[in-house]
Structure formats: C-alpha cells, structure tokens
Amino acid sequence: MGESDRKQKIVQGANGIRTAAKALRSGALAAFPTETVYGLGADATNDTAVAKIYEAKGRPLFNPLIVHAADKEALKSLVSWSPHADILADAFWPGPLTLVLPRNKDCPVSLLASAGLDTLAVRVPSLNLARSLLEACGCPVAAPSANKSGHVSPTTADHVAGEFGAELSVILDGGPCQIGLESTVIDLTTDQPVLLRPGGVSQERLENTVGEVGVATSETPLKSPGMLERHYAPATPLRLEARSAEAGEILLGFGPEAPSGTLNLSVDGDLLEAAANLFAMLRDLEQAGPAGIAVMPIPKMGLGAAINDRLRRATTSA
Ligand code: TXA
Ligand code: MG
C-alpha cells in the first residue's frame, strides 16, 4: 500500500485520547497502545463496529475478541464472575492477563465479539494511556491485536499504520509497547483454570496464585482458541446456498431477492451488516425451533468469505 492510500491520523496525549474516544463512540475503529501490543478497538456493544474489526483484519468469524475496560467493576457486570476471577484479577489487573468467563444473560456486548460462544474474554490493561482512553469512551472496547490476521502483532504506532488503510482513521500513539507480547489467556469456565494462550503472565505465576492450571491441548478442543470452530454446534441443522425454505425449515435471507417477511442478514446485500447480524439472527431462528435453517447464498468475496467459512463450520460441527 502506498503512503498516499493511508488516511490514518496518528494522535497523541490528552487531545489524542479525546479524538480516539470520539471515534470509538461514533462506531469507528481506533487503534490504541496497551502494555502488551497495540489493539484495534471498537465499541464492543455495537454490532457493526465489531464487524468492522473482522473486516479490517481479515479475521475468521470463529475467532473471538478480547473486551477491555478501565477497571474490574466495568467488566464484572458483563460476565458471570467467579472466585477464581477475583483472585486472578486482584493479583494481575491491571495487566497482561485475559480471563474467559461465561457471558451474562443480559450482556450488552455484541455476540460477534464472542464469535457465537457463550463466553467472553475480558482484560484491564495496565498502560495508563489505554485506561484513560477506556475511561473517556465509557463503553467496553473489543480489541484484537492491530495487525492483519496472520501477521505479527504491532508494538508501535507506525507498525499499525503500515497494516491498515483508510478503514482505520485514528491511531493513538503511546510509543513502543512495554511487553510486546500478547496477554496470557486463561479459561475460567471450568473448575480448574485452563491456560489457552501463554503470554505476559507466566504459568508459574498463575499457579502460585490459584493453584494448578491445566493447559489446552488438541485433546481439549473446546478450550483451545484455534479449535473454537468446533465449539459452535447449533442445535438446528443449517442448509447453505438455499433459494427457499423446505418443509419445516426457516429461511435466513440475504439481499433484496429474499422474500419479504424473511429475517434478512442484510436487505441491501451489505456484507458488513450481514456479519454484524449473523450470530444474533442464527440464535433468534434457532429459538423458533425449526427442523432446519435454510441460508440464502452469500457472496464469497471480502467479509463474505469469512461469513461462508463460519457457516460451513456450523454445518459440519457435530
Ligand atoms: O495483549 C492482548 O491480549 C492484545 C491487547 C490488544 O489486549 N490483544 C490480543 O487479541 O492479542 P487477539 O485477538 O489478537 O488475541 C485474543 C486471543 C485469541 O487467541 C482468541 O482466540 C482468544 O484470545 N479468545 C478471545 N475470546 C475468547 C473466548 N471467549 N474463549 C476463548 N478464547 C478467546
Ligand atoms: Mg492477535
């Protein structure tokens, strides 16, 4: 990408915080530094804003995002908090530890950030600039590392600028990241905590705090982020590339050709809107208890490739 294609504004200090917070609140993406790596942030409660993260990164829709806030209290209301969570948060927050916990029933965070799972990953970063930004925007912020999917994580504002074009308008510059390695991710949804991703906090330090910690392996597919696609097993079978619903099925529409009265991922055929609606609409349809869900064809370009990939995984999971 040429220099002239880049439209991002690199901002700093108190003014930078105001600019980035305003962008986040308006549903735009803003990159920001943490002590680990730079994050690509979006308002976690805004489906379309969260979909923009997946689109900008080229991230598979089965890979969930970490939600950040300025303090523990702001995150506790989103998830079903636990004694282990208390111990670990008190020991390592703010800091490079991410806790995976069950979502609360009324959790306002986009289902897309959870990639359709019943869990949510939460973290309070320790970098003051990051926490000032999170305080200023007043909403939980979903943020994966600010790199294209498959690239290494960025640790300077310039790295971030090199990854993205006009889809990212604001980068808050806090200098080089102190840790430069992503946070440790630990699953607290089972009796024994399970390490999903090694990172800024070592397993030894975790075990000194909460006792024995399991480690995710290929034998524990439900706990390993790389295997998460198998976690999502819809109760209702999906049929793809459908033109109409057969007996007992409900049609999930896409685009203007869908029959009126059909639940539609995007009447305008907008893939960003479709990604934002995907998980929530599948859940809605499942609740009606049909024999199957027939999904109309979705173009495979851009974010559509990720949507189709996610739907295929949902049809093949047991
Ligand atoms: O240090 C970090 O964690 C940085 C900064 C920006 O906070 N963020 C980061 O995000 O590294 P990302 O998206 O690159 O990595 C998040 C990891 C992925 O491996 C993802 O699969 C896992 O966390 N994850 C997120 N939500 C999860 C969930 N509900 N269950 C299991 N794993 C989850
Ligand atoms: Mg990453």
Amino acid at the residue 46: N
Tell whether the model's pLDDT for residue 288 goes beyond 70: yes
In a 3-state reduction of DSSP, which class is residue 9? Answer: strand
Residue 155 Cβ contacting ligand 1 at under 6 Å: no
The residue with greater pLDDT, 203 or 185, is 185
8 Å CB contact between 122 and 78: yes
Measured CA angle at 220 (ends 72, 186), to 5 deg: 15
Strands (E), 127-247: 141-142, 170-172, 184-187, 194-197, 214-215, 238-239
State the DSSP H helix or E strand holding residue 102, giving kind and residue range, or none if neither.
strand 97-102
- Ligand 1 binding pocket mutation candidate from 93, 126, 182, 194 (most atoms within 8 A of CB): 182
Q: What is the pTM of this model?
A: 0.84
Residue 120 Cβ contacting ligand 1 at under 6 Å: yes
Alpha helices in 67-196 (DSSP H): 72-76, 83-92, 128-137, 157-163
Residue listed under structure tokens 């690509």: 40
8 Å CB contact between 271 and 299: yes
- Residue whose Cα lies nearest atom 10 of ligand 1: it is 144
Of 109, 114, 106, 105, nearest to 46 by C-alpha is 109
Amino acid at the residue 72: K
Residue 229 Cβ contacting ligand 1 at under 6 Å: no
**pLDDT tens per residue, range 132-181:** 999 999 999 999 999 988 777 888 999 899 899 889 999 999 999 888 88
Tell whether the model's pLDDT for residue 210 goes beyond 70: yes
Please, which pLDDT band fits residue 232 given cuts at 50, 70 and 90?
very low
